[in-house]
Amino acid sequence: MTRQFSANLGFLWRELALPDAIRAAKASGFDAVECHWPYQEPVSEVQLALAETGLPILGLNTVRGDVAAGENGLSALIGRESEARAAIDQAVSHGWALGARHVHVMAGNAVGDGAHACFVENLSYACTVAAKKGMRVVIEPLNAHDAPGYFLRTTVQAANIIAEVGAGNLALMFDCYHVARSEGDVAGRLETLIPIIGHIQFAGVPDRGPPLAGRLDYRQVFNDISRFGYDGALGAEYRPTGGTEGSLGWMDVLR
- Domains of the chain in start order, with CATH, are 5-254 (3.20.20.150)
Inter-axis angle of helices 43-53 and 18-27, nearest 10? 10
- Catalytic residue, candidates 41, 140, 164, 191: 140
Angstrom CA distances, 128 to 65, 89, 133, 167, 194, stand at 22, 11, 9, 8, 23
Q: Is 115 helix (H, G, I), strand (E, B) or coil?
A: helix
Nearest CA among 174, 207, 244 for reference residue 7: 244
Averaged pLDDT, 239-248: 94
Residue 32 CA, chain-centre distance (Å), reads 13
| Secondary structure of residue 17 in the 3-state scheme | coil
Q: What is the pTM of this model?
A: 0.97
pLDDT at residue 241, rounded to an integer: 85
For residue range 87-143, what is the model confidence (pLDDT) as tens digits? Answer: 999 999 999 999 999 999 999 999 999 999 999 999 999 999 999 999 999 999 999
Is 237 a catalytic site residue? yes
Give the pairing of strands 102-104 and 136-139. parallel
Residue type, 186: V
The active-site residue, picked from 15, 34, 237, 245, is: 237
pLDDT in tens, 185-242: 999 999 999 999 999 999 999 999 999 989 999 999 999 999 999 999 999 999 998 8
Mean pLDDT taken over the chain: 97
What pLDDT is stored for residue 1 in this prediction?
Answer: 65
In the prediction, which pLDDT does 2 show?
86
